């Protein structure tokens, strides 16, 4: 049985990932200081409440064959409002963990974001697109990427960087619904009230990826890191679907599907409202991602799309999928 360490194991993605790995036969050691906005405590995680920068936290990861680093102060606004405090956590934890893994020969995967690329010089964004961060959250993620690259190069230990796009979907943990406050989930919450609010200008384009496709990429990364025979420079994977839409277009698709599901309901109103993050995040109307190299190396494709997932999102369905049971012998 492969033992995998997961930091940030009680966050939105971490809470889903520890269960996903456990359901597929991995032994999971979870680590989280339980100070984040979500506290998804999974029995499968063997969770220790500790900080990865503390000796107790690192001791909990001893014996792991791979470590997945998801712990972070995440969010554009949170990092903009508290740049020094968030950097102490994000850069400090990544530096501590990458040094520790490098010194012990333990492969490491780091959770990054497409925010790091800023306004790229060319589209589509590939796995080689350099980081050009434009705000604090992106700068911290980009710096963490460099930390991981540095320790991997110096130690010869295989490491990977997963740049993730906008994740949609919700799941249930211990009978409690768990969802991230992204635009699609926000529209699902607003629809029953009769109106969708689009943050200005509405023409900003994003890539959207289903929760289970994200899980599949992380598990494939574990298998990749364990199989590396001749470590080279750390690799970057594009955890994106390649399916993009402007926020206005997404609102229109949600409204149309809501009307089809509720033919007697009044037509949803779509309004553009002031963007609380408009002065921070980029609002570019063009955004395209290539995942050719990611698919080649990891051997994983995205199996979900927005069209087939909208009903589940609008219905508040649990979108976590357990693996099929093994056949009886």
Mean residue pLDDT of the chain comes to: 94
pLDDT tens for 146-185 read 999 999 999 999 999 999 999 999 999 988 999 988 899 9
Asked if residue 292 is part of any domain, the answer here is no
Asked if residue 294 is part of any domain, the answer here is no
* CATH at 259: 3.90.25.10
Q: What is the pLDDT confidence band of residue 75, given thresholds at 50, 70 and 90?
A: confident
Residue 317: the pLDDT is 94
What does R_g of the chain's alpha carbons equal in angstroms? Answer: 20
Number of compact structural domains in the chain:
2
Angstrom CA distances, 189 to 146, 183, 197, stand at: 38, 10, 11
Indicate if 150 and 247 belong to the same structural domain: no
The angle subtended at Cα 222 by Cα 216 and Cα 223, nearest 5°, is 90
Is the predicted pLDDT of residue 201 greater than 50, yes or no?
yes
pLDDT tens for 230-284 read 878 889 999 999 999 999 999 999 999 999 999 999 999 999 999 988 777 777 8
Tell me how far apart the alpha carbons of residues 195 and 142 are, in angstroms, rounded to a whole number: 37
Indicate if 125 and 191 belong to the same structural domain: no
Tell me how far apart the alpha carbons of residues 111 and 72 are, in angstroms, rounded to a whole number: 9
Angstrom CA distances, 262 to 57, 160, 281, stand at: 49, 45, 34
Residue 329: the pLDDT is 47
pLDDT tens for 81-138 read 999 999 999 999 999 999 999 999 999 999 999 999 999 999 999 999 999 999 999 9
Residue 199: the pLDDT is 93
Residue 326: the pLDDT is 54
DSSP one-letter string for 57-76: HHHHTTT-SEEEE------H
Structure tokens at 266: 């009044």
Residue 299: is it exposed, middle or buried by C-beta count within 10 angstroms (0-12/13-18/19+)? exposed
Residue 284: the pLDDT is 81
- Domain range for 202 is 170-206+243-285+303-314
């Amino acid at each position: 049985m492969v033992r995998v360490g997961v930091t940030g194991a009680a966050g939105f993605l971490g809470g889903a990932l520890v269960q996903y790995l456990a359901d597929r036969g991995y032994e999971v050691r979870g680590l989280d200081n339980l100070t984040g906005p979500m506290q998804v405590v999974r029995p499968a995680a063997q969770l220790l409440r500790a900080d990865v920068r503390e000796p107790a936290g690192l001791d909990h990861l001893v014996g792991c064959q791979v470590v997945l680093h998801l712990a972070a102060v995440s969010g554009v606004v949170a990092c903009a409002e508290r740049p020094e405090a968030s950097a102490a956590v994000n850069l400090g934890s990544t530096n501590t963990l990458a040094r520790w893994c490098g010194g012990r020969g333990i492969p490491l995967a780091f959770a990054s974001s497409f925010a790091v690329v800023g306004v790229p010089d060319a589209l589509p964004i590939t796995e080689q697109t350099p980081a050009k961060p434009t705000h604090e959250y992106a700068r911290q993620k980009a710096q963490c990427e460099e930390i991981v690259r540095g320790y991997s190069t110096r130690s010869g230990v295989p490491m990977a960087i997963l740049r993730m796009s906008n994740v949609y979907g919700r799941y249930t943990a211990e009978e409690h619904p768990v969802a991230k406050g992204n635009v699609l989930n926000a529209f699902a919450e607003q629809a029953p009230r009769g109106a969708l609010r689009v943050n200005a200008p509405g023409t900003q384009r994003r890539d959207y990826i289903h929760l289970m496709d994200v899980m599949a990429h992380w598990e494939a990364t574990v298998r990749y890191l364990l199989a590396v025979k001749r470590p080279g420079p750390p690799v970057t994977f594009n955890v994106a679907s390649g399916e993009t839409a402007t926020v206005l277009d997404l609102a229109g698709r949600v409204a149309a599907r809501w009307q089809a599901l509720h033919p007697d309901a009044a037509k949803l109103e779509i309004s553009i409202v002031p963007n609380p993050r408009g002065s921070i995040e980029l609002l570019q109307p063009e955004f395209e991602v290539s995942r050719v190299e990611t698919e080649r190396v990891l051997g994983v494709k995205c199996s979900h799309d927005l069209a087939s997932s909208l009903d589940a999102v609008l219905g508040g369905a649990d979108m976590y999928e357990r693996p099929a049971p093994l056949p009886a012998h």
